Structure 1
């Protein structure tokens, strides 16, 4: 299964040339991840950020085409692997049939002190539904 998130490119995302300023893509990625946690994992950020978090420990992104003000991006997220305290995902953004970026990242579940903690079993079960075919 693939999680999808729609993001219209807004004026605030663009540089003076009218294309998305690349750091804004990382904000969009995080918005997609936050929506994934709430909608797909049933574990909204506001419920677990009281006791810990899920920081990104590694991320690799390839930008393949520019996005412009008004474009409608579809961000798709699939799980690549699930560990005891972390998981990896693949995310891609498309506008119509054109890919705009792809990224792979690893998030780790931590306590307030930043120490890795096991992913709760109910969350793990939801994550498994989004494992990319062939992973």
Structure 2
């Protein structure tokens, strides 16, 4: 054998050290989701856009009572538009901490307080966290 080949990927079972997975296929809304209502650490985000428009994933350090017209997201991630699928994958090897909880929106506008709805199926988002 030449070189070092990577070992096959093994996903741990929940409860024995593995990350939780949040999956979202957007609906015609702002896609408000309270992913966790307790402190969490994010390890990866994959977001794929399926329309011609650039849309935005907003992640908040909130466990409840999000007010999109007042609260500022902790992370703002542009999701590229492409009808054949285009996107972004972000890895946080040491984790990104959300001390209160994890909440997300998916909207058309970049402003922190934008609440412009996206269309159904505009994006597919996967977040791994623990």
In the superposition, the TM-score normalised over structure 1's length comes to: 0.26
Write 1 or 2 for the structure with the bigger share of strand. 2
In the superposition, the TM-score normalised over structure 2's length comes to: 0.26
Write 1 or 2 for the structure with the bigger share of helix. 1
